[in-house]
Amino acid sequence: MRGPHNIWRLIRTGATFERTGAMQVVFEAANVPPRLRVLARVLGWPFKFLGLRGDPELPPVTRALSALGPAYIKFGQILSTRPDIVGPELATQLRYLQDQLPPFPTAQARAMIEAELDAPVDTLFSEFSEPVAAASIAQVHRARVKATGEDVAVKVLRPGIVRAFRRDINAFYLIASLVEWALPSARRLRPNDVITHFEGVVMGELDLRLETAAAAEFAANTEGDAGFQVPKPVWNLSGREVMTLGWAEGASLGDNAAIDALGVDRAELSERVLQLFLKHALRDGYFHADMHQGNLKVAANGDLIAYDFGIMGQIDEYTRRVYAEILFGFISKDYRRVAEVHFEAGYVPADRDIDEFARALRSVGEPIFGMDATHISMARLLNYLLEVTERFGMETRTELILLQRTMVVVEGVSRSLNPSINIWKVGQPVVEDYIRTSLGPKALALDLKRTALVLSRFGPHLPKAVETALLRARTPEVRQPAPRDYTPVAWFLAGAGLAWAGMLTVLFLF
């Protein structure tokens, strides 16, 4: 339930950060002013004993987030891809949260598989390993299908994970409500809507039947993409709490030394990661929305392998075109067109000055171009962009949250492979290709063709619809008597009632 009892959860969160030493690390990473640090320490110290202890062998922030629960771990996974924001040392520490969390017992996993698939594990698999990876939602076992001899990955949900996520999300709702109450200027960011969106995404991730379907669709969409692989799902060995995919053999994308040992060019690989994401988002409107290093591998032949399809993003064709025009406008430095697109899509209120907005966008975009990526402070850039959107009354677009978040994660992954990558130059060919095919004469002809097909499906109904309209036009309209207006009577009865109530009150009191 959402309510004041979640205040306890917030107190425990702060106390856990204080007890594990994570508070000081976060303050340093975020460059929090000394006065605020002192104030937070003074307020937090009395509650320190209420904090969770966590694993003392882990670094402070990793220790705190892993102790607090799955939703906090998800947040840490996102930060692990942003060394430019939290620093390379902290980002490396947080990668532990991607796939190295403590597993639950194999016996418990086997029992869950048998209950889900209604058959003993030994009759389904000739081999079944101990956990090879464990994350916030589930853990993975390597196995061999007895009937076919195929090597597979068997993913099993953590016991009690649904209840744990609901508890964390309820606390996040309280945080969002407090932010809206204490900071009216933050209401345009729609914190509660953002949490609602996050809840929908996460609860979908907790049904592995949906993830199996997502894996199958994503594999079909990307089958022709060079240098990219998606393991195929095994439907008869998958269910709500268990999913079986083909085994993906390769080096983790977070292990640069292993990638170098394979002889793979990391600069080219970093560009491929970014371009593939843009291609899937723009071309298909369906993209992997959890592309951190823990969900990506590099095969021996250099192919990029994606897995873990619990969070997938989907955007409609109109939104794709808007997004592509905005990206293309930034790339081509046409800030006036970027501003026009924002106004046309309704992202900026119509009463704002479009020229002033274009100048503000120029101040955001210009520092990016012609500069080595290592000299760009993404934290400062995002902060300034937030100031610009606040100034012009832009509200958070919940339909773009997943796309924007994934873009940030993918950029972080690409930079971990090649710190000097410039995302705008690398993304330009993909965006230009989409613009050519989706916004030119070909796109117009395709839109007209689709419109004609839609009308043709209603063709059998058109004669009857025309006949009905003609008959209605020929039939004289029957005038209905105007309804009586009982408003004066209602006011009279209400006044009389109040008068009687007043008289009775006077008699009762005196």
Task: Please check whether residue 54 is in contact with residue 96, taking contact to mean a CB–CB distance below 8 angstroms.
Answer: no
Q: Choose between 244 and 200: higher pLDDT.
A: 244
Write down the mean pLDDT value for the chain.
79
Strand partners, 131: 141
Q: What is the mean pLDDT of residues 368-397?
A: 60
Task: Please check whether residue 247 is in contact with residue 151, taking contact to mean a CB–CB distance below 8 angstroms.
Answer: yes
Confidence of residue 510 (pLDDT cuts 50, 70, 90): very low
- What's the pLDDT tens digit per position in 384-432? 665 676 677 776 565 566 777 788 788 888 888 998 888 778 888 888 8
Confidence of residue 298 (pLDDT cuts 50, 70, 90): very high
pLDDT at 215 over 90: yes
Of residues 347, 346, 387, the one with CA closest to residue 364: 387
> What letter would DSSP give residue 100?
B
Nearest-angstrom CA–CA distance, 347 and 399: 12
Confidence of residue 30 (pLDDT cuts 50, 70, 90): low
What is the predicted pLDDT for the residue at 216? 95
- What's the pLDDT tens digit per position in 409-419? 888 888 889 98
- What's the pLDDT tens digit per position in 142-169? 999 999 999 999 999 998 888 878 777 7
In 69-128, alpha helices (H): 70-79, 83-86, 88-94, 96-99, 106-117, 121-124
Q: What is the mean pLDDT of residues 298-316?
A: 90
Q: What is the mean pLDDT of residues 332-353?
A: 86
**462-482: b or e for each residue (b if 16 or more CB lie within 10 Å)?**
eeeeeeeeeeeeeeeeeeeee
Is this model's pTM higher than 0.75 or not? no
Please list, in sequence order, all residues whose beta carbon lies within 8 angstroms of the beta carbon of residue 105, skipping any fewer than 6 positions away.
none
Nearest-angstrom CA–CA distance, 50 and 38: 20
The DSSP line for 393-454 is TPPP-GGGHHHHHHHHHHHHHHHHH-TT--HHHHHHHHHHHHHHHHSSHHHHHHHHHHHHHH
Percentage of the chain lying above the pLDDT 70 cut: 75
**346-366: b or e for each residue (b if 16 or more CB lie within 10 Å)?**
ebbeeeeeeeebbebbbebbe
- What's the pLDDT tens digit per position in 62-107? 888 888 877 788 777 767 766 656 677 787 788 777 667 788 999 9
Instruction: Please calculate the CA angle 28-415-259 and round it to the nearest 5 degrees.
Output: 115
Task: Please check whether residue 409 is in contact with residue 295, taking contact to mean a CB–CB distance below 8 angstroms.
Answer: no
What is the predicted pLDDT for the residue at 492? 42
What is the predicted pLDDT for the residue at 401? 65
- What's the pLDDT tens digit per position in 190-211? 677 767 766 776 777 788 999 9
Cα 390 to Cα 185, 196, 303, 326, distances in angstroms = 8, 21, 42, 18
Catalytic residue among 168, 290, 303, 355: 290
The DSSP line for 365-390 is HGGGTTS-GGG--HHHHHHHHHHHHH
Could you tell me what percentage of the chain is helix, strand and coil, using 3-state DSSP and rounding each to the nearest 5? 65, 10, 25
Of residues 359, 360, 377, 358, the one with CA closest to residue 368: 377
Nearest-angstrom CA–CA distance, 63 and 93: 10
Give me the phi and psi of 415, to 5 degrees please: -70, -30
**Residue 245, SS3?**
strand
Task: Please check whether residue 29 is in contact with residue 60, taking contact to mean a CB–CB distance below 8 angstroms.
Answer: no
What is the predicted pLDDT for the residue at 70? 78
pLDDT at 32 over 70: no
Task: Please check whether residue 153 is in contact with residue 307, taking contact to mean a CB–CB distance below 8 angstroms.
Answer: yes
pLDDT at 112 over 50: yes
Tokens of 22: 């994570």
What is the predicted pLDDT for the residue at 56? 86
Nearest-angstrom CA–CA distance, 407 and 409: 5
**178-199: b or e for each residue (b if 16 or more CB lie within 10 Å)?**
eeeeeeeeeeebbbbeebebbb
Which residue spans within 29-74 are E strands per DSSP?
A: none
290 is catalytic: yes
